[in-house]
C-alpha cells in the first residue's frame, strides 16, 4: 500500500486521519484477509490439528482492530498460539468440561474467533472497554456482549466462568490495576474454573534492551522500569498522556505473590508462551 504513503505526502495534514481510515479499510477487505488465511493454511510448519482449526476460523477482521497491522499470517498465528497455551493450561489444571468462557479483553476477537471454533459447545462472553470491539465480537462470533469498566473492582459479568482468557491486559496495568483485574477474575471463576492470562516478562525486557521494540513508552522510561523490575519484580510506565495505562513488566514471583493474596494458586506457567513473546499463566481458586 505504498500509494497511500505517496498520497499522504500530497495531501494536507487535516486529511491524514481519513487516509489512515482508508488504509485500515483496504487492508481488512474480506478477500485480502481470506487470502491471508489460505496462505497460512499452506504453511508446512502448522500442525495438522492447527490447520484443521484454522480452516474453520472466521476471516472477517474489523477495520477498527488495533491488533491487526495488515500481517494476516501473524494475526492468525497469535490466535493459534493462544489456543496452544490454553490447551496446555487446561491439561495442567485437569479442567473438566468447559461450558462458559469469558474473553476479557476481547478486543475485536483476535483470539475469540479461535475460541468459538475450539470450544463450539461453550457459551462465550466477550468483554472490553472498547465497545465497538465488544459489539463486533457479539455480531460476528455470536458472543454475549459485556461492556467492561475502567475500574475493574466495579466489573460484573453477572455470571461465573469455567475458563477465563485474558490476553494482554495485565501487560498494560499498574500494580493497583493488576490486583483489581485478578480480583475481578477470582470473583468470576467457577469454584473449579481456570484463569489464563498473559504478562510481560524477560522476553519483553530483552526486546526493550535490544531496542527491538519500544512498546509505546517514552525512551526515558525504559531504564527505570527495567531497574524496578530487577529490584522488585515489577515495573510500570504510563503511555505518554495516559494515566494508569501503559506497559508493565512482571516477574513470575511478583505475579504469584499478587495472585496468592487474592486466593489464586498457579497451575501453569510458560515463559514467552504466547507468540514467543508474553508469559502465560494459569491460576485456579485456592479458597
Ligand atoms: C493489547 S489489547 C488486547 C486485545 C485482545 N485480547 C487481543 O489479543 O487482540 C488490550 C485491550 O485491553 C482493553 N482494555 C483496557 N482496559 C480494560 C478494562 N478495564 N476492561 C476491559 N478491557 C480493557 C483495551 O480496550 C484493548 O482492547
pLDDT single digits (tens) 186-237? 999 999 999 999 999 999 999 999 999 999 999 999 999 999 999 999 999 9
pLDDT mean across residues, the chain: 95
Across-strand partners of 281?
Answer: 197, 269
Atom 8 of ligand 1 has which residue's CA nearest to it?
167
What the block records as the C-alpha cell of 182 is: 485478578
Q: How confident is the model at residue 286 (pLDDT cuts 50, 70, 90)?
A: very high
Q: How far is the CA of 104 from the centre of ligand 1 (A)?
A: 7
Cis peptide before 4 (omega within 30 of 0): no
Is 118 or 7 the better-scoring residue by pLDDT?
A: 118
Give pTM, 2 decimals. Answer: 0.95
Q: How far is the CA of 169 from the centre of ligand 1 (A)?
A: 6
Unique residue bearing C-alpha cell 467492561? 148
Q: How far is the CA of 200 from the centre of ligand 1 (A)?
A: 15
Ligand 1 pocket (Cβ < 6 Å) reads 67, 104-105, 107, 110-111, 127-130, 133, 148, 150, 152, 167-169
Torsion-angle region of residue 264: left (phi > 0), alpha (psi -120 to 50) or beta? beta
What the block records as the C-alpha cell of 181 is: 483485574
262 CB-near residues (< 8 Å, 6+ apart): 179, 182, 183, 186
Q: What DSSP letter does each residue of 39-72 carry, written as one string?
A: HHHT-TTS-HHHHHHHHHS-----TT-TT--S-H
Q: How confident is the model at residue 8 (pLDDT cuts 50, 70, 90)?
A: low
Q: How far is the CA of 166 from the centre of ligand 1 (A)?
A: 9
Of all residues in the chain, what percent carry a pLDDT higher than 90?
91
As a whole number of angstroms, the distance between CA 53 and CA 77 comes to 11
Look at residue 3 in the predicted model and tell me its pLDDT: 62
Domains detected in the chain: 30-201+251-285 (3.40.50.150)
Q: How far is the CA of 42 from the centre of ligand 1 (A)?
A: 31
Q: Tell which atom from ligand 1 comes closest to the C-alpha of 171.
A: 1
Mean pLDDT along residues 5-24: 75
Atom 21 of ligand 1 has which residue's CA nearest to it?
128
What the block records as the C-alpha cell of 130 is: 472498547
Look at residue 19 in the predicted model and tell me its pLDDT: 78
Mean pLDDT along residues 143-154: 98
186 within 8 A of 164, measured Cβ to Cβ:
no
> Probe ligand 1: pick from 82, 129, 164, max atoms within 8 Å of CB?
129
Cis peptide before 16 (omega within 30 of 0): no
Q: Containing H/E element for 235?
A: strand 234-238
Torsion-angle region of residue 49: left (phi > 0), alpha (psi -120 to 50) or beta? alpha
pLDDT single digits (tens) 20-69? 888 898 999 999 999 999 999 999 999 999 999 999 999 999 999 999 99
Mean pLDDT along residues 104-122: 98
Is 5 or 167 the better-scoring residue by pLDDT?
A: 167
Amino acid at each position: 500500500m505504498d500509494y497511500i504513503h505517496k498520497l499522504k505526502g500530497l495531501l494536507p495534514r487535516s486529511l491524514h486521519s481519513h487516509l489512515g481510515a482508508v488504509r485500515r479499510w483496504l487492508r481488512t477487505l474480506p478477500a485480502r484477509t481470506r487470502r491471508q488465511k489460505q496462505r497460512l493454511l499452506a504453511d508446512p510448519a502448522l500442525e495438522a490439528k492447527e490447520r484443521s482449526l484454522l480452516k474453520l476460523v472466521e476471516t472477517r477482521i474489523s477495520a477498527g482492530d488495533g491488533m491487526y497491522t495488515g500481517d494476516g499470517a501473524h494475526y492468525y498465528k497469535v490466535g493459534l498460539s493462544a489456543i496452544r497455551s490454553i490447551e496446555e493450561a487446561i491439561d495442567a489444571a485437569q479442567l473438566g468440561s468447559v461450558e462458559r468462557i469469558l474473553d476479557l479483553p476481547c478486543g475485536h476477537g483476535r483470539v475469540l474467533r479461535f475460541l468459538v471454533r475450539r470450544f463450539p459447545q461453550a457459551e462465550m462472553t466477550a468483554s472490553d472497554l472498547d465497545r465497538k470491539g465488544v459489539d463486533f465480537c457479539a455480531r460476528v462470533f455470536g458472543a454475549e456482549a459485556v461492556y467492561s469498566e475502567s475500574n475493574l473492582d466495579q466489573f460484573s459479568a453477572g455470571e461465573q466462568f469455567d475458563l477465563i482468557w485474558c490476553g494482554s491486559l495485565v501487560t498494560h496495568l499498574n500494580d493497583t490495576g493488576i490486583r483489581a483485574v485478578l480480583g475481578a477474575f477470582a470473583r468470576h471463576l467457577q469454584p473449579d474454573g481456570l484463569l489464563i492470562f498473559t504478562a510481560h516478562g524477560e522476553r519483553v525486557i530483552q526486546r526493550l534492551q535490544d531496542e527491538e521494540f519500544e512498546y509505546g513508552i517514552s525512551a526515558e522510561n525504559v531504564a527505570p522500569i527495567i531497574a524496578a523490575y530487577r529490584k522488585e519484580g515489577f515495573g510500570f510506565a504510563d503511555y505518554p498522556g495516559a494515566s494508569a495505562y501503559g506497559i508493565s513488566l512482571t516477574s513470575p514471583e511478583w505475579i504469584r505473590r499478587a495472585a496468592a493474596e487474592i486466593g489464586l494458586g498457579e497451575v501453569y506457567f510458560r515463559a514467552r508462551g504466547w507468540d514467543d513473546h508474553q508469559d502465560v499463566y494459569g491460576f485456579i481458586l485456592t479458597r
